[in-house]
């Protein structure tokens, strides 16, 4: 997977050099690519390569599918006003490969799946989304997942201000089932989002995912920035770095690449 990340970064850099400006199409694509509540179908491939502070490394290959529909919560409940109220379903599939100083922790395989079902509301001040989420214990090794069924609640708010797109995304999970031998889970994922879009589809994005583990009193705080470009109305990429400044992962450094394809969602 390391070779995949290197070749993908080379593709990203060469695309930046030889891409052409498509006017408003790429600017709109950049806005859709960086907005988790945009009404477009997205397929994302995101390899994250982390250099561990205590030695070793980890590569996480995340695949995401985001599907908006003109429904309310469930596929068979149609929205009476889909221009203002609609639903976005998201499936996240992580595959992890890690090599750590303690070889007993080395593992490669599938991690836990994450499902999110958010109802989005267009308001005068921005987009608001809220709905249930679920972590499914599908990890192929106990080293790669929590081993717990963990339902939760997801909330998103997106607005514009100071010439930028501003937002917050939060997900709270509590374990309710799974292996009795694994520790219970109670944590929140919190993601501030700040995006500045420039001419020709270029954009800069700040969107670290912070983890607040309420059960163990451990708070992982990463900071970093992403630089990207929309190459056409249905394709964008970004490259970013991230450094953990506080928490159990303090000192870890991550290189992140995101390849994002977008399509018009199917009509009901």
Q: Tokens for 165, please give them.
A: 């797109």
pLDDT of 130-150, one tens digit each?
999 999 999 999 999 999 999
**pLDDT reported for residue 266:** 74
Q: Where are the domains of the chain?
A: 2-261
pLDDT of 25-64, one tens digit each?
898 999 999 999 999 999 999 999 999 998 899 999 999 9
Q: Decide if 28 contacts 39 (C-beta within 8 A).
A: no
* Cα(93)–Cα(192) distance, integer angstroms: 22
CATH 2.60.40.1930 fits 2-261, yes or no: no
Any idea what the Cα angle at residue 166 is, between residues 65 and 82, rounded to 5°?
55
Averages of pLDDT over runs of 10 residues in the chain (268 residues) are 55 50 75 95 97 93 96 93 96 96 93 98 96 97 96 97 96 94 96 96 96 96 96 94 96 96 83
- If phi > 0 it is left, if psi is from -120 to 50 it is alpha, else beta; for residue 198 that is beta
60 strand-pairing partners: 48, 96
Any idea what the Cα angle at residue 76 is, between residues 115 and 91, rounded to 5°?
15
**pLDDT reported for residue 17:** 46
**pLDDT reported for residue 6:** 56
**pLDDT reported for residue 264:** 87
Q: Tokens for 171, please give them.
A: 């997900």
């Amino acid at each position: 997977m390391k070779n995949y990340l290197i070749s993908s970064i080379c593709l990203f850099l060469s695309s930046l050099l030889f891409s052409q400006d498509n006017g408003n199409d790429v600017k709109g694509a950049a806005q859709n690519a960086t907005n988790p509540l945009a009404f477009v179908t997205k397929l994302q491939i995101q390899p994250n390569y982390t250099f561990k502070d205590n030695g070793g490394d980890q590569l996480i290959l995340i695949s995401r599918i985001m599907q908006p529909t003109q429904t309310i919560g469930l596929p068979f409940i149609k929205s009476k006003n889909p221009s203002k109220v609609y639903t976005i379903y998201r499936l996240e599939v992580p595959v992890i490969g890690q090599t750590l100083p303690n070889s007993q922790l080395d593992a490669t395989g599938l991690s836990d799946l994450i499902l999110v079902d958010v109802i989005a509301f267009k308001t005068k001040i921005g987009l608001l989304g809220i709905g249930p989420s679920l972590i499914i214990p599908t990890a192929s090794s106990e080293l790669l997942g929590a081993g717990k069924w963990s339902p939760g609640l997801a909330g998103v708010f997106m607005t514009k201000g100071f010439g930028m797109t501003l937002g917050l995304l939060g997900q709270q999970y509590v374990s309710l089932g799974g292996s009795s031998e694994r520790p219970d889970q109670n944590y929140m994922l919190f993601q501030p989002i700040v995006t500045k879009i420039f001419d020709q589809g270029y954009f800069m994005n700040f969107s670290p995912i912070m983890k607040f583990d309420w059960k163990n009193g451990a708070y992982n705080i990463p900071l970093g920035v992403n630089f990207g470009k929309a190459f056409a109305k249905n394709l964008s990429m970004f490259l970013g770095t991230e450094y953990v400044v506080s928490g159990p992962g303090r000192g870890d450094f991550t290189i992140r690449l995101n390849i994002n394809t977008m399509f018009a969602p199917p009509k009901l």
